[in-house]
Every structure is written in structure tokens, then in C-alpha cells.
Structure 1
């Protein structure tokens, strides 16, 4: 589901589980595990700060940023919507006013680094996701671009959220979301057929089964066994096109399945693989090693008073 489709039904914030706010508490605890010495210096006088966007990109992570500051006694007023694209102005200060944050000086500075780090990272993922989705659409690809589970431990919910804001599919959220049988599962079980049968026995009707395959013959075995999705892993671009077309023709009217392609796909080589016999292109390049969107938070000048 793209961010545009999601917002037709409500904010993406409504996807977040009850535990997400507790996760933010742990991030704040990590950054201030004992005394806030610098907070003592500035005190709790009310202050206003401006969140500036200093580089071009998609804004993502609004609910997380807002909650970080809320837990530090501050409020955030957004001037740019989540999912909107900000560009660095050619005239003026060379930065864009994104939000106004108010609260005690100590609270603003307690939340500052955690909030900026999160917003920069989430926005970078959303920007990379949108760029690749748009590039694929311009090339005529009609299928799904999905992220992978190669996410940062403890930060997955933010990275998956950024993908959705950028218009990419988040693929499976975790090991419980779908049964994916990779090469190690198959080797450990003995065969693709045995692995799929075992997965069906415990997964029931509610969970899809995906099988990673290294050849067209393995894909045939997976489809015959009842896999819902076959992943053509580490094929060449030409090999993907040949295998996908052959599988479509061979199983037409016999089995329903989706074809996914994965393995080292990036914006500079994805077009070698993209064709409309492929339902899903999955990649880690939209969330691993992506550029950050640069933000800064500055307490408005002229507010300094001696701390109590």
C-alpha cells in the first residue's frame, strides 16, 4: 500500500502498535541514563524552537518525533505534512521551516538529538523509497517495490514506517508475518516439497508461504508444492526475464502464485530486472546505507534569561 493510498483511509500513525511509545521511552533512557547535567544549566524556562529542513527530501517520522518531544514536556506544531517533499530554497536562508516546538528549555534539549536522529533516518528511507518507486513507474513497471527484513535491531518499526511513507511496500514485518523458506530452511528440511508441506501444516490458511529459489526447476517444485510466492534470488537480469516468462506460461490456469525477484538490487541496476512478469521487486537498498535528510533544531534567538 502506498502512502497516498494509506492516507485515503487515515494517518499511517494508526498502524503503530501500542508498544511504540514505550520504545521511545527506551531511546530517551539510552541518551540520558542518569543525570542531565546540561539540562541543569538551562533550567525549565519556556522556550520556542524551530525545526529546519536543511536538505531536500521526504518528511517521514512525524508521530515518532512528536512523541519524543511530548515525553519531554514539549509540543510540536508542524508546518509541513508527513509525506511531503521539501526542497532547499534557492533564495532566503537556504533552509525550510518544518515545525515549531515549544516547551521548557531542558525538555527541548533532552529531546533534540533523539528526535533529529530519528527524523533524519526515517526521512532518508522515505526519500530513497519514493525515488526508486518513481523511477520504476517511469520505466513502465507496474508491480510492487518492497523493502526487506534487513533492518536495524530495535529500530525496525521506524524503518518500515519510512518505507510506507515513501510509497514502498514493507514486505513482511517480522518472522511471524509470513512463512519465508530460504535456502537454509530447505537444506535443513531436506527438500523444497518437504519444507512447504511442513509450513502448511503449522501456518494454516492465514499465512502465505514464500520460497527462495536458485533456479527455474526449484521454482517449479515450489509452485507444485503449493507455495504462494517464489523468490528468484540472485538471478541475472536476463535470467529473471526468461524464468518469469516461462513460469507464467507453464503454470497458467493451473496454479496461482506471485513472483518476486531479490538479491543486490539497487536504483542503478534494478531496471535490468524490472518487467511486468515480476510481481514484486524487493531490495534492502531503500533502507540500508541510505542518505539522511538533514534537519536542525534551533531555539529562537532573544529568549535567553538567567536560569533559576
Structure 2
């Protein structure tokens, strides 16, 4: 699905609830910094400083909408990021813009990291001629599941199975017990398909980008990787204030 269309599936109420909870956690009481920054109108440029896939615009928007700021995007959802690139501009009262800054950046960085990992896994699978479904797992961060599941979709992966009865999962423990990963995995999958042609077979457990090709086979329907959410590094974004009418200048990321 077109990444831009994925945002239409997100409930506005759910987005608003998430944004409110994140902001309340980050600033549960008084905000003394607001006395210093004031309420004058301000502009800030959003910069991507690491490569990957842009994902999480709806969550970024929801945070800033909650603090009365407006976001103008310069790149579409799912766009490849080549640093240093300006991704968006944010406008609003200075104290509100700075109140939402860290929360919005955290959500965007995490979602983009998951999308980037998912896109890399899909690329490996397709590069090995495997047409099946690359998926995440239930190994998500509590309270952040919607963000991470959405990131998987933007990156081209599937969120995961929802009905255990509709899918047989061959995990690493089955492989160890059998003594041979490649032979037993694909032999078991072939036997299942022969007896139950409509049953989906999922391979899961200890799968990484390096060993993913070993799990690609004609009888495997889904390969799920917990590392897409558990181990995906967050992308590096920054939000920099600039004077209205001037052109923001990007700063290269330090090694």
C-alpha cells in the first residue's frame, strides 16, 4: 500500500490520545522554560541527519497539533532519507514549539528506525527471489505498539499474524531439536503444505538480516523478525529554530 494511504487507517482519536499521554509524561506539571522562551511566533526546520526511511508523520503532526503548532512537510511518508536533508518546517508559539519538540522527535525517530529496518529486510528477501511476507513480531514497546506496527507497514513489512490457528510457525527451537536448520525447516514446511495446502507457514526465531536468506523457501509464507522492532536503531532528526524570511542551513552530523 502507498505509505501516504496508511495514515488514513490511523484513528484521529487514537493519535490525539497518544500525543496527549506522551506530552503529559514529558511535562506533567509547570514548564518554567516557557517563561524564558515566551509565546512569540517561531519557525523551526526539521532535519534528517542519518539515512533511512521517513515514517511517523501522523504521530509528529498529532504532537504538534496538541500544542497549537502547524507542520509543513517537504518529503512524503516513506521517502528515502539522504542526510543532511530538510524534511519539514514547524510554526507556532515558541514555548509550544519547544514543548512538543522532544516528544515529536522521539516518535518520528523511532518510527523511522523501524521502517528502515523493515525496508532492509524486505530488500534482502526480494534480492533472494523470495516473494513471501516479511513481518514483525509481537516484540513491541509497551505503549508504543501502534507507532512500531505503523513503521513496519511504511517499510513494506507486515505487522504480524493475528490468529495462531491460521498459521503454523516453525521456530528456532524446532530447528535445534531437529539438528539441521535448512533441511528440517524446509522439509517440515513442505510436509505441512502437502497435507494442508491452505495453511500458512511462518519461520521465526533468531532471524537477522544476515541469516534471513536461509529461511527463504518455496513452502515458507511468512518470515518474522523480532529485531525489526527490538533492535532497530532510531534515526537521527533535529529541530532547529530559524528566523522568518531566512534560509535554514543544515549542519552535518558529527561522527
The two structures have a TM-score, normalised by structure 2, of 0.89
Secondary structure of the structure 2 residue equivalent to 1:103: strand
Where does residue 229 of structure 1 map in the other structure?
167
Using CA pairs under 8 Å that are at least 6 residues apart, name the structure with larger relative contact order, 1 or 2: 2
Kindly tell me: are residues 302 and 65 of structure 1, through their superposed partners in 2, closer, same or farther at Cα, counting changes over 3 Å?
closer
Structure 2 residue 125 is the aligned partner of structure 1 residue 136 = yes
Structure 1 segment 1-308 matched on structure 2, within 5 A: 5-7=1-3, 11-17=5-11, 18-88=13-83, 95-172=84-161, 178-180=162-164, 209=165, 228-234=166-172, 235=175, 236-249=181-194, 251=195, 255-301=197-243
Secondary structure of the structure 1 residue equivalent to 2:88: strand
Larger Rg: 1
Alpha-carbon separation, structure 2, partners of 1:34 and 1:97: 33
In the alignment, structure 2 segments of 5+ residues that lack a partner are 176-180, 246-255
Alpha-carbon separation, structure 2, partners of 1:142 and 1:255: 17
Alpha-carbon separation, structure 1, partners of 2:199 and 2:191: 13
Tell me, yes or no, if the aligned pair for 1:238 and 1:273 is still in contact at 8 Å. no
Secondary structure of the structure 2 residue equivalent to 1:19: helix
Secondary structure of the structure 2 residue equivalent to 1:287: helix
Secondary structure of the structure 1 residue equivalent to 2:130: coil
- Alignment length, in residue pairs? 237
Q: 1:259-292 CA distances to partner (integer Å, 9 max, x unpaired)?
A: 1111111101111111121001111111112112
Residue 179 of structure 1 deviates from its aligned partner by 3.7
The two structures have a TM-score, normalised by structure 1, of 0.74
Tell me, yes or no, if the aligned pair for 1:74 and 1:107 is still in contact at 8 Å. yes
Residue 19 of structure 1 deviates from its aligned partner by 2.3
Alpha-carbon separation, structure 2, partners of 1:57 and 1:255: 38
Alpha-carbon separation, structure 2, partners of 1:52 and 1:6: 23
Residue 24 of structure 1 deviates from its aligned partner by 1.1
CA-based RMSD? 1.6
